[in-house]
Structure 1
Amino acid sequence: MEILSLILIMVLLMLQLFLLSQAQNSHPDRMAQAIRDILQQELKSNREELSTALRDNRTELSLGLDRMTQRLEEKLSTIHETSIKDARANRDELSKSMAYFQEAFSRNITSFNDLQKQKFQEMALRQDEMLKSTESKLDKMRETVDEKLHKTLEDRLGQSFKLVSERLEAVQKGLGEMQSLANGVGDLKKVLSNVKTRGALGEIQLGNILEQIMAPEQYATNLSTKKGSADLVEFAIKLPGREDSGETVYLPIDAKFPQEDYLRLQAAFETGEKALVETETKKLVQAIKKSARDIRDKYIDPPHTTDFGILFLPVEGLYAEVVRQPGLLMLLQRDYKIIVTGPTTLAAMLNSLQMASKPSPSKSAAVKSGKSWAPLKQNFQNSGKSWPRHEKKSGKQIKSWILWSVPEPK
């Protein structure tokens, strides 16, 4: 707009100059001076107008900026106040929401705890009912098992007594020793009627074997074979000592019967669990080692006794199980100086020993008697190796024999 005004002024100025030049052609100097004056005056007027216009523009621009700044400040203040109000409203709403959530969560937790208590009470009632039902069923099963066990024991005892009677009659006909047979039957009846403990079972059986094979003066009973010790060995065989000393040398024989370990091993075999069989076998081996250690420490005292002892196992199945363990017999002989025997192998050993230990008038006979131990020991080891083959066949008979030899549960 200002530029258009300047252009219009310039046009008017040019027009005025043209008119003056037409009117005063006769006076050129005065005309030039007049033109200069007019131009100066117009230029001055234009400068003043331009300055005034610029000042007005600056003033108007400053006022516009002030108004814009004021409006911006008002807007910012409004936005700030709105933000504060919104933030306060959001905080209030969030606080209300949190309070509502906390209240709802507390109600849910309380409800869950009540429900859990109710469930636990129901479970406790069910467990009590199951426990009562189980106890009732166990009582019935126990009664049934007791009845069947009692009947089975009666049947087995009857069969065993019948078998024993038949064998005793055969022994009576073969040996013709009525008194010995009567004593043996009496001892056997005591065992079968459970008057003796398990330890006495092996002792009675060992006594019967010694009584049938050896003369009474060839062995001693309940003898202290170790000097300074009060421990009494069940049986000790009398052997001739050196010819120049004339003293008697005793061979200690002690019966051991780790019944619990053996029965647990048989039960493990029936379950077929390899790990359980290995565990029970280790326990049985430890029991046999302990028995051998006891015999060595309590009864062996060379030269008053032999440098070895005999561990008698009254059950063939137990003896077969011991023989079946790799290296166990050699370990017992090497570390504990103990020879393990069963009923059959003990009888064979005693027969050989009776022949080897007869008193001889000369020293050479005594040396010969001592050398006879080597084939006896070899025969004992060979006979022991044959037992594992018969273990399965004799297992059931051995287990039934153990069952009716154990006292009836009360």
Structure 2
Amino acid sequence: MNIIEILLIAIVILLAINIIITIMKGKNKSDEGTREELIKFGTKLETIDPLIRSEFSRSREEISSSAKENRDELNATLDKFSGKFTDSVKDLNEQQRQQFKDFGDSQEKIRKDTEDKLETIRKTLEDKIKNLQDENAKKLEEMRNTVDEKLQTTVEKRFNESFKLISERLEQVHKGLGEMQTLATGVGDLKKVLTNVKTRGNLGEIQLDTILSQYLSTEQYEKNSQIKEGSLERVEFAVKMPGAGKGSKPVLLPIDSKFPIEDYQRLMDAYDKAGRIEQKELDAIGRQFENSVRKNAKDIKEKYINPPVTTDFAVMFVPTEGLYAEILRRPGLFEMLRREYMVTVVGPSTLVAFLGSLQMGFRTLAIEKRSSEVWEILGAVKTEFGKFGDVLEKTKKKLVEATNTIDSAGARTRAIERKLGKVQELPEAETNKAIENFPDNEA
């Protein structure tokens, strides 16, 4: 459908709308008027119809002519474009063919060059690898011979050393068996010793004495010290602590060794059988161990704590770290001993640290006591230093006088040398003869 047909349809629609509007406006008029209007409208339509048909015919002819011209022009353009496109494609194909040919020639040349270079590299590598293999084979042969020689020597040496070592070890094993027999005898004796309460006490006392003697001087502690007058009880050791005032007696710190080995050993055996005994039995053994430790602490408190002769606390030494660790492991036992019995438990390493802190305190007090003496010595040094300044001043004057005297002697010496320079010198032979004939004062 072209534009003219659309316009005609639009005109018809407008006329129909006009008729409808006219009809609606003329409702009150008579039917006769309406009929006349319709007749007029029909006459107009008959007049317009030939015009429309004529216009339709002319439009179709123009459109047909225009379409034919457009088709002819389009065909001419397409033919022209097809010719140019064909020529361009031919040129492009020719260029690509030439480029492909050039590229193929270049690739062939590169391939040949690469093959030549690779062949050269291959020959070079083969020669070098062959030389390297020959050298390696030669060196490996030399190394093999050297290794064989050294290996033979080393094997013989090691064999002789191993045989000697085995002989020595067998001798040591034989000797060790004898020592083990002796050790077994000693262990039996030690077991007998440890089963004796008094002997165990002596063992702890000896260990305590050894530690104290290593970290304190003999003036800083007492052995078997009597704490209470009229009492036969004596503490094993008492460290002398400085008194409160100058000239006052030292305050004693009681240290006593305890070794409840039966209860401790029973507890260790119970730990080893933890999965084979009931928890109640294990708890009972633990309570028995705690009671034994508390009994020892109570004994120390009642016998050895006596303020102001002693400190208001004492130290209980246990000779093994395992026993000390077990006391610390029991909940509240260590704190209860300090709170109720005023007793502090220490093991060997803890005692060493404790004595180290005491030794530092002793040194601090000694420095404080000596501070006044040091001040007096510094005053004397100041006085002597003033006198020393006077002596230095006098020495300086003497040195100046000596320097002046030496300068004067040097001037006189130079004057004498100038005088002697005018004297005729003797020949060397006569000089030696004169020296030989010079009278000897010692003759």
Whether TM exceeds 0.5 here: the answer is no
Kindly indicate whether structure 1 or structure 2 has the higher relative contact order, using CA contacts under 8 Å at least 6 residues apart. 1
Larger Rg: 2
Please give the TM-score of this superposition, normalised by the length of structure 2: 0.39
Please give the TM-score of this superposition, normalised by the length of structure 1: 0.42
